[in-house]
Structure 1
Amino acid sequence: MTAPPAPGPEGRHLMGALSSFKRDSLSLITELQGYGGIARVRLGPYLVHQLTGPEFIKHVLQDNTDNYRRGRFYQGFNLFMGRGMLTTDGAEWRARRDISQPFFQRAWLHGASGVITSCAEELIARWEGPAERGEEIELVDEMMWLAMGVLSRMLFGVDLRDRYAELAPAVRFSLKAMILTGEVSQMLPRWVPTRYRRDLRRHQAVLNGVMDDVIALHRAGGGDPDDLVSALLKATDAETGRSWPDRQIRAELKTLFMAGHETTGCALAWTLYSVAQHADVRRKLEAELDSVLGDRAPTPGDLPDLPYLRQVVDESLRLHPPIWVFPRDVVEDDVIGGHHIPAGTTLLIPPYAAHRDPGAWESPEAFDPERFCPAGRGPARYTYLPFGGGARRCVGYYMALLEIQFTVAMLVRRYHLSLVPAQQVTPVGLVSLRPARGIRVRLVKRGA
């Protein structure tokens, strides 16, 4: 006997909840949680199941992982990333991961962590003028500038902030273009000469050109022989023994660049926004930082002595996970929670909704770092997954945590960030979870 379908909204027309998803995807996934840990919904031509129950998420990400692939919702990612570590599966994915993984191990990252403090010091100096003049700054742009510098210097051996003016518009365009929303501009054939297609090709060319320049620099001996780019240049195909072509190397660099700096920049912006909103949190954090660090920059050895800093970061990642949803396509029929999951359909695992489950979190909409107190039990497994889970957990998760903690520590010790009044800070689900209209703040030096 076939298992029954999962519960979910019926939808008032053939397109189901697609219009709601396009209008406000975050509200829709939050509403779907009302059906329990699994919900069934139609998004236009796609039958989708949303999973927020921890035992169901574990089934997909850990227990039966071979039955779930990246799938159709990742097709748009190929527009700007190509076939890299994020968009591939199986042996192809493992080959890419195995080359990159050594550069995300703790020992290597600790040795390179001076790049983070150097970039943070440059940002502090960059903020001196606006602080003295009482000018507003746009926090998301500033965090992207910093994160771009950290990632490119640490992994690529070059500082791509020199090309920030051309890269930033390409990144902003890609955040919308990579998500399949059902917009007419996305659905038309590629040969139709629309403005969207012209803009798409122009921004693709910018990103490809920058990565090609990084590859050319290393081929000419201008890079670090021990960095990630050099490792990719030495990579060979397991079957043919041939070196990777530049197209394949470029796809990996684009993936690391787009996924690495964008998500960390968003996480930094949301964390500083949360600290600025809560004076009691800021004061407690300042006291811990002053006690442990004094006037110096943090080192990896300081982190065990900064538990409240980590609690603040963890709570920010709970409320505002940079990757708000993980899509998967179903390879073969399955049963989850007693419900039939048909082959060829799509699963959505949304940390944004799972992190707001009232069954797993007390007062889930409140910003409360104390819920991550080291003396407590901590969140149950798969109720908290800002970096995913299982074998496909984000390879750069520890680099992101290191960068966020170091940067928050250095900026909070130097400045009070004051939110500009009367602005509406609303999250929107693009590739990452971004503030729809940015976050405007003013800076005040501590002790001024």
Structure 2
Amino acid sequence: MVGHAAALLRDPLAWLARCAASGSGEGIHRLRLWGRPSYLVTDADLVHEVLAGRAGDFDKGGQFYRNAREIFGDTLVTASAGKHPHQRRRMRPVFRRARIAAAVPAMRLEAGRVADSWTSGGEADIVRGSVLYAHRTAVRTLLPVLSTVEVDRLATASARLIEDLFLRTVLPPQAGALLRRRFDTSLRTLREACGAAVPEARARAADERSGLLAALLETSPQGGGPASDEEARDHFVSLLMAGTETSVSALAWQLHHLSRDLPLQHRIRDELHAVAGERPVTLADLERMPLLRRATAETLRCRPPLWMLLRTSVREVRLGGYRFPAGTDFYFSPHQLQHAPDVFAEPGSFCPERWPERGPSARDRSFLAFGAGPRRCLGDQFALTSLAVATSTVLTRWTLTPAAGRAPRARLRTMQVPHALRLRVERRHSGL
């Protein structure tokens, strides 16, 4: 029954590398996982076929998504194939450019709060700082009407919910019930706070500065009218869950890579100064910073937050010349595909220059940090903007170098996050 699960859990990245290097080169490997018919797809073209070319033949399946739907309902991240197009139309106004631009000041504020809490000459806990930034920013950009005290309270509840989410969703329902009390308390805290803020957000929905959640409360023919209060609470929680842990992973790994390359830090600072000077950075400024964009793309290539994805066939399918019955699980790893040596020279090296100025394009089938096809991450530009704001804010205040001791190792659960990442921080002075 356990099969390959033991090797997968013991050292996932090494196991994936062995799978990719073995077999006849057809890119489909039979797995034994929990007694279900399962396959690992290691060929980028076949993965693209599953995600984009024939997306209608596959759906988000498996125990994780079944349990997540029971908790959060059919929101954008968890929705089944039949309900996903409606949810995507509903959420599209949330991430239009004007809303993202209006969220940048909140991102700067929260990045500054974290960066200013560090001590010059000391060591900063980068993962903790990334957690604080991601959850506070998510709450503040969704509901700007909240006070800082309330933002911090809800960010704590959001972080606690994420801690419990992995076990609650991967464990069988009977075992997951053991976590229910603490999990449900955090969930209720978030839903009640959102419910209390909805009337004001609804009244200001047409104002681009009213927050991301308010976009759901606008009258939108494309989305079928404004969301109800109940839908708003569901989407509030789902957006927190979808965006925070990926941001924690991306920001922590980005600062780790930059700490190991002082010349790159200096070049990004020079680029930032040339574009924005001494004034606060804006979305338009960030769009004129190709070096930072390349560094971010390379961070997401080296350490994609979502390191393993799953699709389940909803009908009999043919893939790679083979026939598979309905209900077959197909796993694929963005991490494995983005370290393919025949696509990326020296895949273990951090090399921003491998990307063009605009970064990866839809033609780069081996780059799956945001997925592909109809389920490609709708908030990708918001996520990239948040990561750029946080990185530029940190670099204007601090010079980062590795702390003494062992290099951080990846902790792979739902996301790929560095474990025990501490960096030495030195305060930068104006003009230096």
- Common topology (TM > 0.5): yes
Shift in Å, 1:347 = 1.0
1:219-256 CA distance string (max 9 Å, x none): 477974344444545789x9x9997472x443322210
- Give the 3-state SS of the residue equivalent to 1:77 in structure 2: helix
* 1:11-410 equivalences in 2 (<5 Å): 14-35=1-22, 36=25, 37-72=27-62, 73-78=64-69, 80-127=71-118, 130-131=119-120, 134-157=121-144, 158=146, 160-178=151-169, 180=170, 186-187=171-172, 190=174, 197-219=177-199, 224-226=204-206, 227-232=211-216, 244=228, 246=230, 248-374=231-357, 380-410=363-393
Shift in Å, 1:99 = 2.0
- Give the 3-state SS of the residue equivalent to 1:96 in structure 2: helix
Using the TM superposition, name which of 261-270 and 16-25 deviates more.
Answer: 16-25
> Cα distance 1:32–1:78, how it changes in 2: closer, same or farther (>3 A)?
same
> Cα distance 1:268–1:202, how it changes in 2: closer, same or farther (>3 A)?
same
Q: Match for residue 414 of structure 2?
A: 431
Identity %: 25
- Give the 3-state SS of the residue equivalent to 1:126 in structure 2: coil
Asked if 2 retains the 8 angstrom alpha-carbon contact of 1:334 and 1:343, the reply is yes
Letter of the aligned partner of 1:95 in structure 2?
Answer: H
Using the TM superposition, name which of 377-386 and 152-161 deviates more.
Answer: 377-386
Shift in Å, 1:380 = 4.8
> Cα distance 1:242–1:123, how it changes in 2: closer, same or farther (>3 A)?
closer
Using the TM superposition, name which of 331-340 and 355-364 deviates more.
Answer: 331-340
1:61-89 CA distance string (max 9 Å, x none): 11111110011142233365333111113
1:445 counterpart (424, 427, 430): 427
- Give the 3-state SS of the residue equivalent to 1:408 in structure 2: helix
Task: Tell me the distance in 1 between the aligned counterparts of 2:391 and 2:309.
Answer: 27
Letter of the aligned partner of 2:420 in structure 1?
Answer: G
Asked if 2 retains the 8 angstrom alpha-carbon contact of 1:289 and 1:306, the reply is yes
Shift in Å, 1:363 = 0.5
Task: Tell me the distance in 2 between the aligned counterparts of 1:301 and 1:88.
Answer: 33
Letter of the aligned partner of 1:106 in structure 2?
Answer: R
Letter of the aligned partner of 2:393 in structure 1?
Answer: M
Letter of the aligned partner of 2:177 in structure 1?
Answer: R
- Give the 3-state SS of the residue equivalent to 2:20 in structure 1: helix
Using the TM superposition, name which of 113-122 and 269-278 deviates more.
Answer: 113-122
Structure 1: gaps (5+ residues): 1-13, 181-185
> Cα distance 1:221–1:106, how it changes in 2: closer, same or farther (>3 A)?
closer
Asked if 1 retains the 8 angstrom alpha-carbon contact of 2:294 and 2:359, the reply is no
> Cα distance 1:429–1:235, how it changes in 2: closer, same or farther (>3 A)?
farther
Task: Tell me the distance in 2 between the aligned counterparts of 1:379 and 1:216.
Answer: 40
- Give the 3-state SS of the residue equivalent to 1:422 in structure 2: coil
Shift in Å, 1:409 = 1.4
Using the TM superposition, name which of 59-68 and 160-169 deviates more.
Answer: 160-169
Shift in Å, 1:368 = 0.6
Using the TM superposition, name which of 144-153 and 60-69 deviates more.
Answer: 144-153
Task: Tell me the distance in 2 between the aligned counterparts of 1:145 and 1:331.
Answer: 39
Task: Tell me the distance in 1 between the aligned counterparts of 2:28 and 2:127.
Answer: 33
CA RMSD, aligned part only?
2.9
Asked if 2 retains the 8 angstrom alpha-carbon contact of 1:80 and 1:204, the reply is no
- Give the 3-state SS of the residue equivalent to 1:113 in structure 2: helix
Letter of the aligned partner of 2:421 in structure 1?
Answer: I
> Cα distance 1:138–1:242, how it changes in 2: closer, same or farther (>3 A)?
closer
